[in-house]
Amino acid sequence: MWDPDRYLDFEQHRRRPVDDLLARITTDPVRRIVDLGCGPGQLTDRLAERWPGAAITAVDRDPAMLERARTRPSAARVDYVEADIGEWQPATSVDLVFSNAALHWLPHHMDLLETYLHWLSPGGTLAVQIPGNTDAASHRVVAELRRSERWAAAVGEGADDHVAVAEPADYARRLGALRAEVDVWESTYLHLLAGSDPVVTWLTGSTLRPVLAALTPVDQAAFVAELTDRLRPHYPTDATGQTVFAFRRIFLVARRPTRPVRTDDSRECVPPA
Ligand SMILES: C[S@@+](CC[C@H](N)C(=O)[O-])C[C@H]1O[C@@H](n2cnc3c(N)ncnc32)[C@H](O)[C@@H]1O
């Protein structure tokens, strides 16, 4: 179960990558939108603001996140669905499939990209942001601690269901092979955080969620305390009380061509929706 309050603690910092993703969506008109892994709904609001006439379906499997999403300003015009985004399907084709910081929780998301492209109407866009920070100290130290003698039995490999992030080039190749118009890039954002051990606070709202869910409250506190000690040397706080947290993110924008593209062997690019 997610904690919407903790996740939203860093909303301002998570906003910039979303701005960068939204800036690359050129589909017009956008009449039907799907927001996959909508979470607490603050980005669904942004989709509703940018495309005021569009019908929006927002899908998430977490009841706490959906409950919060239903309180957002755009809620009246959003159809919220509690479902697994690896299995759910829209009833009709859509103009925009949007997913921010959610697909990395699905180990087979590379294959799902093809499914999502097939949902698009001609000229429609698949726009995805996936955190690509698994090599950063924050995520490496969590992995090391989890596999350490003290914690391996409770939260070893099994608790980590978000390790399947590929390299940007792999995503680009896969989407290109589907004959989509592809725009893939990565950016590392330097978040200047305040407060004590803010990187640990950030992680408890996202990466640590499945790890902590597998522990008793007493063990959760012990795990977080040990993690805090291990992370401090990697994320020092300066004299002004600020900590820099570098966070790499991968962006995938793939547009379905308005007309079928024929290749040498005359296969159509993307099957009609
Ligand atoms: C980090 S939050 C991102 C929320 C929102 N998109 C945002 O960027 O603020 C990830 C969300 O993906 C959802 N999620 C993860 N795996 C899912 C799955 N298999 N099916 C549906 N939702 C999933 C979680 O419940 C959570 O709300």
Per-residue confidence (pLDDT) for residue 181, from 0 to 100:
96
Alpha-carbon distance 69 to 85, whole Å?
A: 16
Tokens for 231?
A: 């992370």
Q: Is residue 91 part of a domain?
A: yes
* Number of domains composing the chain: 1
3-state secondary structure 2-68: CCHHHHHCCHHHHHHHHHHHHCCCCCCCCCEEEEECCCCCHHHHHHHHHCCCCEEEEEECCHHHHHH
pLDDT tens digits for range 84-142: 999 999 999 999 999 999 999 898 999 999 999 999 999 999 999 999 998 999 999 99
- Residues 25-53: b if buried by 16+ CB within 10 A, e if exposed: bebeebebbbbbbbbbbbbbbbbbeebee
Per-residue confidence (pLDDT) for residue 159, from 0 to 100:
56
Q: Is the dihedral of CA 113, 119, 121, 124 positive or negative?
A: negative
Taking the centre of ligand 1 as the mean of its atom positions, its distance from the CA of residue 114, in whole angstroms, is 19
Alpha-carbon distance 257 to 126, whole Å?
A: 12
Which residue from 105, 108, 163, 189 has its CB within 8 A of the most atoms of ligand 1, so it is best to mutate? 105
Q: Which amino acid is present at 48?
A: A
Q: Is residue 264 part of a domain?
A: no
Residue-range definition of the domain harbouring residue 85: 4-255
Q: Is residue 268 part of a domain?
A: no
Q: Is residue 262 part of a domain?
A: no
Q: What is the pTM of this model?
A: 0.90
Q: Is residue 242 part of a domain?
A: yes
Q: Is residue 261 part of a domain?
A: no
pLDDT tens digits for range 7-30: 677 888 888 999 999 999 999 999
Q: Is residue 194 part of a domain?
A: yes
Q: Which amino acid is present at 230?
A: R
The CATH number covering residue 191 comes to 3.40.50.150
Q: Is residue 235 part of a domain?
A: yes
Q: Residue 233: pLDDT above 80?
A: yes
Mapped onto helix, strand or coil, the DSSP state of residue 245 is strand
Residue nearest to atom 10 of ligand 1 (CA): 102
Tell me which residue of 108, 268, 251 sits closest to 178, measured CA to CA. Answer: 268
Task: Please give the radius of gyration of the chain, using alpha carbons only, rounded to the nearest integer.
Answer: 20
Which residue from 1, 20, 60, 247 has its CB within 8 A of the most atoms of ligand 1, so it is best to mutate? 60
